[in-house]
Structure formats: structure tokens, C-alpha cells
Amino acid sequence: MGNTVNGKPLVFLEGQSNQVIDGVFQVILVNCANMVVQNVEDIGFRDMGFSQSIQLIGTSNTVVTNCKTHISLINSNNNTVKGNRLSNAFITLTNSNDNIIADNELYDVRYSAVRLYSSSHNMITQNSITGEYGGGIIIYGEYNRVCRNNISYRIVVMMLVQAYLLVVVVIMCMKIM
């Protein structure tokens, strides 16, 4: 029997492919491909010191869907993060390219909801982001597309930060409330 927290399994997989991870406490996928991560909920992660409940590291062609907790992609390409509903949580991409972040609802957000660091050629589209204060979407990277997102913040709507301003292409066609 594997390790559990609150009756839900902790999943760490390395070099695996073609599996569905459903309803667990925490997921860490390292160098995996063609996976599905679904139905992961935040059931006390922050109180226990967990910052990213779902981590894809060097993972590709994976779908994260119907989850309710922090999602982090590190050195991970060609993944889809879609149909998640996150409260006071975030999606972070670090050195990750050609991913799709779509149709997610991020609410009660503090600071930023979607964060891209050294990540390029990603699509951020049709997300709903609401919060009291913060930056909505923060991008440090090149050639990312941001389109058709609904962003509503009381203070500061969106920040796009780019160290390589001469070569960045950011398509912005969002409805800002």
C-alpha cells in the first residue's frame, strides 16, 4: 500500500506513459508522457506546507483537468491545462513551451493567477480570473498568446513583463472588466 494523506494517495511517477491519475492528494510526474491528471482537490495543502499539489517536471502531452489546486509545469512541453476550477491557487509554467492553458476558472486570486517564467509559445485562452488584487497573468517569455480571457481585479488588472521586448509577440484580445 502506498502513502496517503487524508485517505488519498500521494503519486510520484517517473518515466511512465499512458496512465490516468484520478482523485489523489498530490501528483508529481517526472519525465512522463501521455498522462491524464484529473479530480485533484485542495484539501488542506496550504496548511500542510504544500505549494504545488500538481507538478509536471519534464513531462509532455499530458492533460490536467477538473482539478482544484495549484498546478506547476517545469521543463514540460505540449501539455494542456483545461477545465480546472481553482480558488486562491495558481498555474505556473517554468521553462515550459507549447502548452495550452484554457477554459479554467481562477477565483479569489491573490497576486497572480497564471505565471509564465522563461516559457514561450504557450496559449492562454478563455480563462476566467477574478480577485481582489494582483496581476492576473504575468509573463516572462517570448511568443506567448493571450486571448479571450475574462479578468476582473479590483486593483491591477494585468502585467506583461518581457525582458526581450524587441522579439516578443503577445496577442492580447481579452475582455478586461
Prediction pTM value: 0.85
Instruction: Write the burial class of residue 80 (CB in 10 Å: 0-12 exposed, 13-18 middle, 19+ buried).
Output: middle
* pLDDT of 13 above 80: yes
Distance CA 25, CA 5 (A): 7
What sign has the CA pseudo-torsion 61, 121, 163, 115? negative
Domain 4-176: which topology? Pectate Lyase C-like (2.160.20)
pLDDT at residue 55 in the model = 96
What residues form DSSP beta bridges with 171?
145
Identify which has the larger pLDDT, 152 or 11: 11
Average pLDDT, the chain: 84
Please state the rounded mean pLDDT for residues 21-50. 84
**pLDDT, tens digit, 9 for 90 and up, residues 43-89:** 655 555 555 689 999 999 999 999 999 999 999 999 999 999 999 88
Q: Which amino acid is at 133?
A: Y
Distance CA 159, CA 136 (A): 7
* pLDDT of 133 above 80: no
